Structure 1
Amino acid sequence: MRKYLIAGLLVWLPLAITIWVLHAVLNTLDGVFEALLSASQAVLPEAAYAPLQMLKQVPGLGVIVMVAGLLLTGVFAANFAGQWALRQANHLLTHIPIVKSIYSSVKQVSDTLFSSSGNAFREAVLVQYPREGSWTIAFVTGKPGGEAADHLHDDYLSLYVPTTPNPTSGFFLMVPRKDVIVLSMSVDEALKYIISMGVVAPPPHAPRAEPQALRDARNQHG
């Protein structure tokens, strides 16, 4: 009986968690949509607002509206007029006390993470952490900059070491490039490996060619 219970659990647990996550996301987006509708009540006349109340009863409409809003915002931001308007809005927000510190920090992080030309979170590596001889998977986020870079005279990488099973928390490390092993697995495969605590291993890959700079650094150190 224990064997059959575990087999049944393995069938239903992934499906139940998937449904739970999707349900939570839908509820969150629907909640945002309802908040926007409630806010519109203050600026719209009663005759125009009354039909909008019926939209709250449509399940999943918040997802469609949010996706459409993101697409329209992207189209607007991609043209000349939209870029000018965004520059003016950024200038305004970066000169408001308290708001500017939060907005500037979040914008800098989001621009770094989601920029198509950036290198953040596009490569998984092996690094010794938290002690020598103990290895973990990390993600390259770039190279050290600012005052930290002035004190690091060798070739260093900035790494994010996620925790398991929750990869949204972790540690920031600055490690010499020569001490890092580049992995052939994709970032998605590495995340699955971390979240599953090593249970879901990625398929074997052909070894990735070692960068010339990394080979030179290894040769210099023996």
Structure 2
Amino acid sequence: MAAVLLIDDDVELAGMLADYLRGDGFSVELAHDGESGIAAALGGRFAIAVLDVMLPGLSGIEALRRIRAASQMPVLMLTARGDDMDRIVGLELGADDYVPKPCLPRELAARLRAILRRGSTAPAAPAGELTVGPLRLNPAQRLAEWRGRGLELTSTEFNLLEVLARNAGRTVGKDELSQQALGRPLARYDRSIDVHLSSIRQKLGPLDDGRSPIQTVFRQGYQMIPG
């Protein structure tokens, strides 16, 4: 039973979502403000947090910033429908995914399972470490190194990097990346993949020749340079 922390100041909505998730096999605890949500998230008792962007006082964006400063636990953001700026900022700060509000409890449960599933199991592929140029991945332990230096990656970032590494030299479409890394189809106008990959590029840095190890292939997807 995965333990979920739901941080939302809307007591009625949070209670409804919590009741549904509990009935769907999750363990759920609630926090209704950013400060208590951060303290609970960093307590080490939860597998994943659901964090509303529109919190009173300390915003959900600031709460995410503080959580990410100390933990790589998966975080799913609840954002206002159509509010692209909060969505992009949340992803840039390390949110694993987002769900627009108002959301269907069933969709929220499906997104949570997708994130947790991808974070706890390696895809059906050859076992052992994976090396592409200066990149080394250990999918079983969810560890990543670049030029011998450990990388701090969110669960979703690790998933994306693993998919690209396993397909090094081949262009991988955004829909395939979304299915394999986020566990869901790519929605129209969804920029999640682009934002996550921008963060990964910053963490990796350039190759010796100055190129990014992850190349954008116009209108097709992304490709990792084989090394």
Same fold (TM over 0.5): no
Report the TM-score, using the length of structure 2 for normalisation: 0.24
- Tell me which of the two structures has the higher relative contact order, counting C-alpha pairs closer than 8 angstroms and 6 or more residues apart: 2
Q: Between Structure 1 and Structure 2, which shows a larger proportion of strand residues?
A: 2
Q: Between Structure 1 and Structure 2, which shows a larger proportion of helix residues?
A: 1
The structure with more radius of gyration:
1
